[in-house]
Chains A and B, each alone.
Chain A
């Protein structure tokens, strides 16, 4: 192994084009990773075509940084590696950019995305660039020491890892989603036994019963219960449902706002929406596809042992 590394280093130190090949292979793998990840991003965050270009370009820069690190280390030019810290600064900027864009759009959004969702998206966009940098770094290392076949293998491994590990949990993983019935108890709109909102106008009640849809989101365990207890998570679910099915809500029709309310006793969450396309299967799919927000994810079940140790100390 040592011999191979030595050979590689000595061979390349006389030969600039080889560095170029290493860098190019790294950049290629990194950019491919960014494009694949963009496809996941945009399923969760639809509809901004210019964003594609911006993020692909930034992904290219990120992967160039990752790939250049290898020749810089081998030359050896350790000072050059410090520019990676600059990169971190740049990527935090991406997070701010995403957050600002979405926050300013939020003001005129009829169905709110919610601050938690925005923060989650912004954080994802930042993290994806580190992932891209890692992909190009590993691929460039493989190209340097193992040649093209190793680089191809490393690239596919990293692409698969990025795709598999970073696509994140969705609501469908932690909850069952079943159709539910809308009804009125006097003027209170209910989903099964959950009271949602007081609707004053009789004409509006008839319209809601005729056009509205409802599902019940049943958590599979206490971790899931804690996650959908989070208001930001519920806002994200309502937003996703409204994106997939459309909503009849307008500025002067606040009654049609999609709502997700909790049954305080069981922790189940009922979602109500007046969609443009009345399709319960599609609604269930939309709810299941909603990403679990990092800020909402919580695992009280796993806290058992640590709580017990604290209890032992205190009691």
Chain B
């Protein structure tokens, strides 16, 4: 895992599909609780950090 690229968005978890599109995998979450849980699981799988865009969208980035 140490050689994986840094500074890239690995996944996007959103409550609002209107706000997102593009290359990274996008996950739609029904409510905030599910969103938080999905983000936590994904961050553990990817060894990456969860960041909050504060528009109902979380992104997972490896630093």
Contacts and interface: CB of A to CB of B under 8 A. Distances in A.
Interface of A: 107-108, 186-187, 197-204, 251-252, 254-255, 257
Contact of B40 (A108, A198, A203): A203
Given A107-B2, A254-B63, A200 B47 contact: no
Contacts of B54: 186-187
Contacts of B51: 187, 198-200
Contacts of A197: 49
Contacts of A108: 2
A124 to B, nearest CB: 28
Contacts of A187: 51-52, 54
B30 to A, nearest CB: 17
Interface string B17-45: 00000000000000000001001100110
A254 B2 contact: no
Given A252-B43, A252-B44, A201 B50 contact: yes
Given A186-B54, A197-B49, 6 more contacts: A187-B54, A204-B50, A251-B47, A252-B43, A254-B49, A254-B62
17 contacts: A186-B52, A186-B54, A197-B49, A198-B52, A199-B51, A199-B52, A200-B51, A200-B52, A201-B39, A202-B36, A203-B40, A204-B50, A251-B47, A252-B43, A254-B48, A254-B49, A254-B62
A205 to B, nearest CB: 9
B40 A201 contact: yes
B13 to A, nearest CB: 9
Contact of B43 (A107, A198, A201): A201
B10 interface: no
A203 B1 CA distance: 25
Contacts of A198: 51-52
Contacts of B39: 200-201
Nearest to B40: A201
Given A252-B47, A254-B47, A254-B49, A201 B2 contact: no
B50 A199 contact: yes
A200 B50 contact: yes
A213 B40 CA distance: 23
Nearest to A255: B49
Contacts of A186: 52, 54
B45 to A, nearest CB: 8
Nearest to A205: B52
Nearest to A198: B51
B9 to A, nearest CB: 12
Contacts of B48: 254
A252 B62 CA distance: 10
Nearest to A202: B36
A255 B60 CA distance: 12
Contacts of A202: 36
